[in-house]
């Protein structure tokens, strides 16, 4: 049977067919849909983990006792999971284990652009690089064979276009793989130095065997055409290169890229007059080709960052640019990204952004948009879960200056708090900080498309789960001043910020209101009864066109130049009421949705 699948869906299908028993992930573009797809298979225990480290650790536990396991994450997620990742390479597996890293050449939604092929090399973990959805499915199945045959976890490196691009996939049936017997083996799984030294030696033996595999696997193959140009490539770049060079070049397509197939590369290069390396992110293949003694062109011609799409390749190698359709610039509306209409973070950032002498330490999530106009309410954003601890360090330095009045407000979301913000807040408490830490609880993991998390009361399969009490955690960490507020109530939000900025000890504000796009659970309907059932309308008899309502930055509000009055898009408006509170003439009124 054949189906049109994205790469993420094909990874899930491959895992299903390979008889995977357990899968865990933390959502993050472009990997989120892998676990969402796996969760549709009732045969697989699929879970959202609080963070990537926990996801991998859970998969390791499943593997040790004999189950086939999978952990998936976006590229920066592997940084979080790097600690168990490196040691897992030493211990090896019992049940086969595959780890997915979804890299983002071009940084479509991430804070950096990193090449996680380097992680395979650094941790000495074998790696596949699929180029399309069929290879995603096929490589996952092969990866489980490799994992169990060579006693090692296997990394699969995806990129955005492979994750989200669709192509036809030939499917197979699920192979029910029995859970292996668990045998206690402390020399294999207890990595104290006495055991780890032996495991380190064993790892080199495994890599030598895997190097032989790299030379023979069908996932590393050549397509011989003209010998004047030889292109060595991997992943989506294989398709990009073929679109540009067609049959005017020969190709060495690498699908298993750690360890590298040196003999296959040498044989190919010797047959070519000129060698081009086309790959995204780092010169990972290029460096190996040069080490093997061949001159080649790669990053000397191609950009050192971004996606190596066909137009980029054409420009680099032939100085050709595609003709573009022209359009009148005046018709394009300049529309920067902004918080959604009805977003519960709007009221908070509106009030926070008005304050002087306040540094705002931000974090990763929808609320990152708080840095932008009209709020301008964020000074830093570095990594997930770091908002509280980065703010803590800044406050300590501010406090060293006698005349310094700067205070720090640190901000992160509910899912981010559960991801790694808990330890960040623990640092604030333990080191006696006086920052104001704010948890923006919108009752869901918003930015990645509404995945459940330990605070929502539901698991990845949509089954009821115990909901973590965020306020209870905060109190247990030692915070004495805690306040939960509705961020849509501007006066209350303003008052609480003032009150907490006066404190000289660590404090936490929890803003609690559901994401405007969330499908309400039974619990949400009880707790937030009446939410999003009204809309706002302009009373044209009262509106004086002062534009104060537009300062809240809601995309549902615009200024009608003809009428010289504000106008509200009834389709977008969800009736949060922020604009109503800003209007000096009570010209914004409620109506039934």
Two structure tokens written together for 91: 């211990």
Cα atoms found within 13 Å of the Cα of residue 100, Cβ hemisphere only = 38
Surface-to-core class of residue 10, CB atoms within 10 Å of its CB (0-12 exposed, 13-18 middle, 19+ buried)? buried
Query: How far is residue 261's CA from residue 128's CA, in Å, rounded to a whole number?
Result: 12
Q: Is 591 exposed, middle or buried (0-12, 13-18, 19+ CB in 10 A)?
A: exposed
Distances (CA, A) of 552 to 192, 345, 347, 568: 56, 11, 8, 13
Q: Which of 261, 270, 260, 259 is nearest to 293 (CA)?
A: 270
67 with 95: CB under 8 angstroms?
A: yes
Using CA atoms, how far apart are residues 421 and 434, in angstroms rounded to an integer? 17
| CA–CA distance, 107 with 76 (Å, rounded to integer) | 11
Question: How far apart are the C-alpha atoms of 286 and 277, rounded to whole Å?
Answer: 6
Q: How far apart, in whole angstroms, are the C-alpha atoms of residue 501 and residue 434?
A: 9
Which residues are annotated binding-site positions?
543, 546, 549, 554, 573, 576, 579, 583
- Which helix (H) or strand (E) element contains residue 254? strand 250-254
Coil, helix or strand at residue 69 = strand
Helices 193-216 and 262-271 pack at an angle, to 10 degrees, of 30
Q: Which residues are annotated as a binding site for [4Fe-4S] cluster?
A: 543, 546, 549, 554, 573, 576, 579, 583
Pairwise CA distance, residues 175 & 17, whole Å = 6
User: If we measure between CA atoms, which residue out of 588, 550, 578, 546 comes closest to residue 564?
Assistant: 546
Q: At what angle do helices 262-271 and 284-291 cross, to 10 degrees?
A: 80
Q: Is 397 exposed, middle or buried (0-12, 13-18, 19+ CB in 10 A)?
A: exposed
Give the Cα separation of 399 and 370 in Å (integer). 25
Q: How far apart are CA 283 and CA 84, in angstroms?
A: 26
């Amino acid at each position: 049977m054949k189906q049109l699948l994205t790469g993420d869906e094909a990874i899930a299908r491959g895992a299903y067919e390979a008889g995977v028993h357990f899968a865990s992930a933390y959502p993050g573009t472009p990997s989120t849909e892998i676990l969402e797809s796996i969760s549709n298979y009732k045969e697989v225990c699929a879970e959202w983990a609080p963070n990537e480290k926990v996801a991998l650790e859970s998969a390791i536990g499943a593997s040790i006792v004999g189950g086939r396991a999978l952990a998936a994450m976006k590229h920066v997620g592997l940084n979080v999971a790097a600690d168990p990742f490196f040691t897992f390479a030493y211990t090896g597996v019992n049940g086969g284990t595959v780890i997915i890293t979804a890299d983002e050449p071009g940084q479509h939604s991430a804070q950096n652009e990193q090449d996680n092929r380097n992680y395979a090399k650094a941790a000495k973990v074998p790696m596949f690089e699929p180029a399309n959805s069929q290879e995603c499915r096929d490589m996952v199945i092969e990866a489980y064979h490799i994992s169990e045959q060579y006693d090692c976890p296997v990394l699969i490196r995806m990129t955005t276009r492979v994750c989200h691009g669709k192509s036809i996939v030939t499917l197979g049936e699920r192979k029910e793989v029995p859970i292996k017997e668990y045998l206690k083996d402390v020399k294999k799984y207890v990595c104290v130095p006495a055991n780890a030294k032996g495991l380190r030696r064993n790892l080199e033996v495994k890599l030598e065997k895997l190097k032989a595999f790299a030379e023979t696997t069908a996932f590393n193959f050549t397509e011989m055409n003209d010998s004047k140009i030889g292109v060595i490539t991997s992943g989506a770049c294989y398709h990009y290169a073929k679109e540009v060079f067609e049959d005017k070049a020969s190709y060495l397509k690498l699908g298993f890229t750690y360890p590298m197939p040196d003999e296959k590369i040498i044989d190919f290069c010797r047959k070519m007059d000129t060698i081009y390396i086309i790959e995204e992110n780092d010169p990972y293949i290029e460096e190996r080709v040069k080490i093997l003694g061949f001159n080649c062109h790669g990053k000397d011609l191609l950009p050192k960052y971004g996606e190596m799409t066909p137009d980029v390749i054409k420009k680099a190698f032939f100085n050709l640019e595609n003709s573009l359709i022209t359009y009148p610039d005046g018709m394009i509306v300049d529309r920067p990204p902004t918080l959604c209409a009805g977003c519960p973070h709007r009221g908070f950032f509106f009030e926070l952004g008005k304050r002087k002498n306040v540094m705002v330490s931000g974090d990763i999530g929808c609320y990152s948009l708080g840095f932008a106009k009209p709020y301008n309410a964020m000074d830093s954003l570095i990594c997930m879960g770091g908002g509280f601890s980065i703010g803590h360090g800044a406050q300590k330095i501010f406090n060293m200056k006698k005349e310094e009045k700067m205070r720090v407000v640190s901000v992160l979301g509910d899912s981010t708090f559960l991801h790694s913000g808990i330890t960040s807040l623990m640092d604030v408490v333990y080191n006696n900080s006086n920052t104001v830490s704010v948890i923006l609880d919108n009752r869901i993991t918003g930015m990645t498309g509404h995945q459940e998390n330990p605070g929502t009361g539901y698991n990845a399969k949509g089954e009821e789960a115990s909901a973590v009490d965020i306020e209870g955690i905060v109190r247990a960490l030692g915070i004495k001043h805690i306040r939960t507020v509705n961020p849509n109530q501007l006066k209350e939000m303003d008052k609480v910020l003032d009150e907490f900025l006066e404190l000289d000890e660590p404090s936490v504000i929890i803003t609690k209101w559901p994401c405007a796009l969330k499908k309400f659970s039974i619990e949400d309907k009880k707790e937030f009864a009446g939410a999003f059932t009204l809309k706002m309308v302009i009373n044209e008899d009262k509106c004086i066109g002062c534009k104060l309502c537009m300062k809240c930055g809601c995309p549902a509000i615009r200024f009608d130049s003809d009428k010289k009055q504000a106008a509200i898009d009834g389709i977008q408006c969800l009736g949060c009421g922020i604009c109503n509170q800003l209007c000096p003439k009570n010209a914004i009124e409620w109506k039934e949705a």
